Every structure is written in C-alpha cells, then in structure tokens.
Amino acid sequence: MVNKPELTVVLIEDDAEIVEAVTLTFKIRWPQATFLAANSGQEGVELVDKNNPDLVILDLGLPDTSGFNVLKDIRRFSHVPVIVLTARGDETDIVRGLELGADEYIIKPFRQMELLARVKAVMRRQETSAEELPLTVGSMTLGPSIRDLKLKDRRISLTRTEGIVLGQLMRHVGHPVSHAVLAKALWGEEYPGAAESLKVYVRHLREKIEDNPSDPKLLLTRIGAGYQLAKPE
C-alpha cells in the first residue's frame, strides 16, 4: 500500500507552515500522494467521511475543537490509520491519544525521516495485520478481520493495534511474548517508550476481554518477560 500512487492523505492542521512541511516531506517518499488539507476539526471529519483516505495526520490544537474530539468522531465510523502530529508532548496527552485509537503519536518539531518511518510502519501494519487469520484459541476467535473478536457468545470490536497485539499473544498462547516482539509487530522496531504504549493497549484489551480487568485471568503480565495469553482450560 505504501507505494500506491493513489495514496490519499487527509491532513487536519491549521498551521500553513506545517501543512507545507508535511506535504514536502511526503514528496520525498510518495511524490504522487494526494493531500486533502483541513484547517478545522469539523472540516477534517467531513473529509475523512467523504473520501475514505488511506491515512489521517491530525493536530490536537485546532481552532474549533480539540483534536481528541476529532479522533473520537473519526473512530465512530472509520478504522483509517491516524497519526497524531502535535506539539503536546505530555505523557497524559500521549496516553490519551493512544487510548482514543491513534496509531502513532509524533511530537513537533518533527524530523522528516522519523515521520516517513512512522508512516511506513503504520501503512505496513495496515497491509499485513490480517495475515494468518482467523486464529482460534479455546473460545476466542480473532478474524476474519484483525478488528473482529469473538469470545464465547460475544462479538467484540478491536482497534487495529489491539488486534495485532492479541494476534501475537494468540500465536504464542501459554508463552510470554516480549515487549520487543510486540513492538516489532506494531512499529517494525522497538523504540523508547514502546513499553508504555503497550501498557495502554493491553489495558484496553483487558477491559474488553476480562471479567475483571483489575484481576486478569486471560491476558497476563510476566514481569521481565512481557505478556502472555493463558492457555484455555
């Protein structure tokens, strides 16, 4: 997908200089990419809804609403990959962005090669996340989409990232999966802060699959080793 000439990107950003910088950055790697820019949250949501883009790049500091609200609105109707690109680098903002369904969180000022690498990783995950599906472990079935989980008689909607994490754990059921392995599946490599990001995804998975997320019986933490999906009884 990353090499498709018809790649469509919606950029929701009210700073004209940032719009120009991101557009020029993409010309290095995807010169034929189509950019649709919106300088307000409402316009951005409408562009995503109307054009079904391959990628969204979202600023949090918009003139009409918070970027977090925009992200929530997009996630109500679309699983399009979203990269948050913002000057807000507080840990609470990063965690909130990931919890609301962002696929990546990049802090301004950004480096061209970092942005390109993160975009490439996100688009690669989009292409490969459905490999080897469906997966079944006991009463749990993931697939045919990476976002679709059936647990006993319940159907549970996952984010793409949650599905990738759970898929890795299901493939290695009964054995710990390290932070490094999970990070590679998600981002192509481990990076500083990956473990904290993984904690967010695991917490959300527990809220969706555990009877008591505070006392997990399915998705277990193995201190120093990673996370493990318990073998079915």
**H-type helices in the chain, by residue range?**
16-29, 41-51, 67-75, 91-99, 112-128, 160-171, 179-187, 194-209
Of 70, 50, 75, the closest CA to residue 36 belongs to 50
In tens, the pLDDT along 20-78 reads 999 998 888 888 889 999 999 999 999 999 999 999 999 999 999 999 999 999 988 88
pLDDT at residue 130, as a whole number? 54
Distance of CA 119 to the CA centre of its chain: 11
Tokens of 25: 């950055």
β-strands 154-157, 148-151 pairing: antiparallel
Cβ atoms of 85 and 58 closer than 8 Å: yes
pTM of the model: 0.67
Total Cβ atoms within 10 A of residue 99? 15
| Secondary-structure breakdown of the chain: helix, strand, coil percentages, each rounded to the nearest 5 | 40, 20, 40
Domain borders along the chain are 8-128, 135-229
What CATH number belongs to 135-229? 1.10.10.10
Among 58-62, 117-121, 141-145, which is the least confidently predicted range? 117-121
8-128 is classed CATH 3.40.50.2300: yes
pLDDT of residue 128: 54
121: left (phi over 0), alpha (psi -120 to 50) or beta: alpha
Tokens encoding 20: 């120009």
